[in-house]
Amino acid sequence: MKKLNIYFTAGIPTLEDTGKIAGLIQESGADMMEIGIPYSDPVADGPVIQEAHSLALNNGMSIKKLFDQLAEIKDSVIIPKILMGYLNPVLQFGFENFCHKCSEVGISGLIIPDLPPIEFEKKYGEILKKYNLNFTFLVTPETSEERIKYLDSLSSGFLYAVSSSSTTGNSNTVVKNESYLNRLASLKLKNPVLIGFGIKNKSDFENVTEKAEGGIIGTAFVKILLEKKNWEIEAANFIHSVKA
């Protein structure tokens, strides 16, 4: 079975919904989740997720608050939970302190897209190991084979393959970049490859996972949380429809 990884931004639709959404993702049959840490300048994200970041910050979400919420669901939500965020707020919190808290509240790994690999090797890799946390790097269709292999060697858990070079949620995203997916499949990487950016439904998910181990859905899911009054039912139905 291909793995379905669902992303959502912590602190939306209301500040206290994080645990409820995490539980819903697990119960609806997803295999893992990425929980986004809201940030005031989410440069790699498209308009929907930017809007989610903005709402979450206005709602009062902070890293400290998020850790409190994660502590409450540590024993009930047991599928892998990955924190995704930008480097600046993590450094302000204190990198080692952040990793220590992650290990205490049941986080299995981190994705920090703007952490340079060279810095990771020099400063941060050992800290992540110390707290038994995976770290995932991102690759794109423009990433050279040599660099893909290098980022795969640094990653653990999985390698995040961005399906196109646009921001997340761009409606023009080419979901199935055939030559890129073939290239990734031929490289004999150590980590499973999960494809993200632009997956909106079951057929997109099936398309991109023909040659990859799984897919990541963010914008389409976050859109439901932002726009639907009965988001709990709609969100559960959406995950069921992709996994069915």
pLDDT, tens digit (0-9, with 9 covering 90-100), for 110-142: 999 999 999 999 999 999 999 999 999 999 999
Is residue 46 pLDDT above 80, yes or no?
A: yes
What is the model's pTM?
A: 0.94
Q: Report the catalytic residues.
A: 34, 45
* SS3 call for 82: strand
Residue 190: which pLDDT band, with cuts at 50, 70 and 90? very high
CA dihedral sign, ordered 62, 133, 46, 18: negative
Helices (H), the chain: 18-27, 47-59, 63-73, 87-93, 95-104, 117-119, 125-130, 145-154, 178-186, 202-208, 219-227, 231-243
| pLDDT tens track for 68-97 | 999 999 999 999 999 999 999 999 999 999
Tell me which residue of 233, 237, 238, 199 sits closest to 219, measured CA to CA. Answer: 199
Tell me which residue of 84, 91, 86, 147 sits closest to 118, measured CA to CA. Answer: 147
Q: What percent of the chain has pLDDT over 70?
A: 95
